[in-house]
Amino acid sequence: MINILFFGQLKERLGCATLQWPITKSLSVQQLKQQLIEQQCQWQEWLSDSQVLCAVNHTIVDHHASINVGDEVAFFPPVTGG
């Protein structure tokens, strides 16, 4: 199982803030996105956006990064603080 979080405009577009997702072995960020889109096809438009960032355990990673059981994964738009 992994915990998935969504933030900002992405959270509103998906209509989802957090999600428990079952995984039994490691997978890449790209593979996780594919699984999510297969489950929720209407998410494709927003999750496929190349601007969407991903963090694994609070560190921004690229789409090849590995996700392991127990990780916290977050997807969000480019940041706009300050």
- Over the window 16 to 35, marking each residue x when it contacts other proteins by CB under 8 A and - when it does not, the resulting string is --------------------
Both structure tokens of 78: 């480019």
- Alpha carbons within 13 angstroms on the beta-carbon side of residue 23 total 24
CA distance 1 to 25: 9
Determine, following the binding rule CB under 8 A, whether residue 82 of this chain makes contact with other proteins.
Answer: yes
- Tell me if 50 contacts other proteins by CB under 8 A: no
Chain positions contacting other proteins, by CB under 8 A: 5, 7-9, 12, 55, 58-60, 74, 76-82
